[in-house]
Structure 1
Amino acid sequence: LLLKLKYLTVQEIEYFALPASSEKELSETIKQIKSFRNEKTILDYDAHRKKYKKDHLQKDYSKYVNDLANTFKNHMEFLPGIISVKEGLVHKLLIEPDAVQTWNLIIKEYDKVWKSNKNFPDQDRKLFVDRYGRNFGKIKASTKTSNPITKEQTQNRKIQEAITEIIENSVTKISQKQMVEEISQICSFISTEKIAKKLSEHPEWISKKFNAFEKKYLTIAQDGKKHEEFEIMTNKILRIFGFNVQTKVKVTFTDEQEGEIDTLVTYNSESGVIDEKAGKNFSCGNERVGPMEDYIKEARKISDTTVKFFGYVYGKKFSTPGGFNRIREEMKINGFRISAANLLSCLDAFNNNKITPKQIWKLFQKNGEITSLDY
């Protein structure tokens, strides 16, 4: 119908298109719509009701078919190249000019496959034609008074959700070109041209979300149940600093028990052991001494670099530093501790060329708490 008539209004869908259930009726529908547009046909909804559903209440009938037609229009908009435009008070469903050829080819292919079928192919008449085309009485009118969500609104929402997802997982700012490419991978049903156009029209979608990584990082840092995600995001920051990062390094202790070093970070010929601790409070008492000392010993065995320090990246609060000091003294090694917020502050200083990887590496050997006063 769209190919032959160029467009369809909601009124034409509800009155002429939906009741059609065969090729023959569809051909008649085209003639009826053309006649209606030439003002040769007067719409009579009571006659329509008597023809297709005479036991339906007269007062509700026009609303039922209108709701049905709007639902049909909204569903059609999700097909590629099919859009809805508003001219005055009339909504028109049409095929975009550059998609007409594609839809012509699609229809031709379908005609080849189901050449001899007089009714609509592969559709159960009871479940499709009767239910959606004629049996209006069993479809309740929507009680919502708000306007239906359009294809464009859905695309806008999906693009903004993709932007948030991309930035939450990216430590540094992303170029416009790279952003378009990554969005198109997530929203494959939207063309890259349309995505690029949307971003040009709405630069605020990106600018408002550039701190999404920081917000997510600080939220996860204080969540005592998301240790692994906290480790992953912390290691992204360490890599931005230019350090080589190995994670979940498996080691075997002297008693044959196996364990994992959360993070083994390397810079030039030196290395360090880092443990990430999510949660609102991390207590580094004597119970923490043994495990960290074991990790340091194993790191010294497996690494061909000099293990210069150990450190803790913690969520919000670091209490009972006695264990931290004991590890330094007993293992004769430098150590640091830094909160998630201060690590982000260090990242900001690094991104603004206020501190170098070499200076950060030196800070990791501070033997105390690293704060923004250090850089």
Structure 2
Amino acid sequence: MNRARRTALVAALLAGYVATASAGRFTTTRIDLDDGAVVALLEASSQRHVDAMRSIIKASYPGGYSARRWEIIENHARRTPIARVRYEYPLGRSTAFRTYHAMGGEPLSRIAALALGGPTPPGTPSSAGSPPLSPTWSEDDDTPPAERVSDDELVAAEAADAPHYAAPDDTDVRAAFRPSDRTVMKPYWHQGSYHALDPEQKALRALEDDILDGKVPRGGKVQAWLSSVVCATCRRPIERMAAAYDLEVSFTEMVPFVPADVTRAEIQAGRGRMKAFRLVHADSGMPLGAFDALDVARDAQVRQALSPAAIQRASRGAHSPMRTFRLAPPRPRRVTEGSSPSSSPPRDTDDEATGGC
């Protein structure tokens, strides 16, 4: 092969590589210890949904509430996964940002109706969230149950909930469930769970609609934070979306435990100790694990704004300030511009263990 032909072949191969590399990328980073930034961002997103649920209950279900019914409300507000997706894109000579806030599960008015709108539930409710995937799951294992809520019903409920959320603007968007007629992210069913209701799907499909409607351009960077692990049914749709719209998608996810080696290192260094099966700060007793720190923050949100006592105080005109154990969330731009020293480097999804919602 002569030099000219070799040069042409190399150029063709490089062109193919560049085309593939620019067709979108999806990576994940899993954090173990709380660095302050991720937990504060997700806590702020969670507060939006807590405030909306409070507004729905005050408007539709005034009066007394039984503890058994209220458990559904509190468990949903505390345990349902939260996603926060930040889209960075060029705007003229500068860079613009748009943030999408999503909570997993059905619309809040349907959760409130389940808890407060009918007879007392027969048993103690389980925590919200989708069951883990079976090891044999595949895209063909996608059979919805015979009795289910239709997409149209979910969309109508989301529309009814809209007035209870903070007014949207150009930078912060409520990511509600939306129909699947034009998305590249196929919504999967698995073991009776509809994964179009997962928060990462809701947030990214809200971004997808904005791209299709021309509100934001394609080809930007997506930085996302999730209070759980991106499940297998969402990984493949996210990869398809990244490829379809030439997006660089990076998720930061967390699991409800701190690895044993990290726990040992924190204890041996004198920074941590164990308390009720949680790794906590040796002096303050506050959780060191990211998942546990967010759990404590969301529990405080429920006590301050969504407990029966808090709602009854508000009905009487008493004011209870919204407080958090954090002084203030850091500016999102700082999280986007630089990673925390305690965070692990991003790992490509090919090397990531499959998780469940």
Q: TM-score, normalised by structure 2?
A: 0.25
**Which protein shows a greater Rg?**
1
The structure that is helix-richer by fraction is 1
- Bigger relative contact order, structure 1 or 2 (CA pairs below 8 A, ≥6 apart): 2
